Amino acid sequence: MQTIFSKIIAGEIPCEKIYEDENVFAFLDSNPVNPGHALVIPKQWSEGLLDAKEETLHQVISAVQKVAQAIKQATGADGINIIQNGGEAAGQKVFHLHFHVIPRFSDDGFQHWHGKGYTSPEQRKEIAEKIRQVL
């Protein structure tokens, strides 16, 4: 599958690469939440987290940790967000598995989502039971 990320890995589109090994590629996001915001992607294409091979996930999450540690130290961030948007409804725009590594500062104004809660304790139990059955 050819995506903009495939072209970045191939060197067809310029980027500010910050990490690469035989399986993973990481580069600075061109529209960062904060300076240092990076994307970590596997070189082997999968659309997202749910269809990626287990070995690919191990490789990429190991690189996410390494990149996150470096970004936190290099930027002096107070914290780090690791975000993976799975599917269009979740905000995924490029359908090549990727993790956002976002340096966070206590005064950066970044807003987290707001919870909706459950309509009742019964609804929560029903959802939990459905998930357990699938697992």
96 is a catalytic site residue: no
Residue 25 — left, alpha, or beta (φ > 0 → left; ψ -120 to 50 → alpha)?
beta
Q: How far is CA 13 from CA 7, 40, 46, 55, 93, in A?
A: 6, 16, 20, 27, 17
CB 38 within 8 A of CB 71: yes
Among 98, 100, 112, 114, the active-site one is 98
The residues that are catalytic are: 98
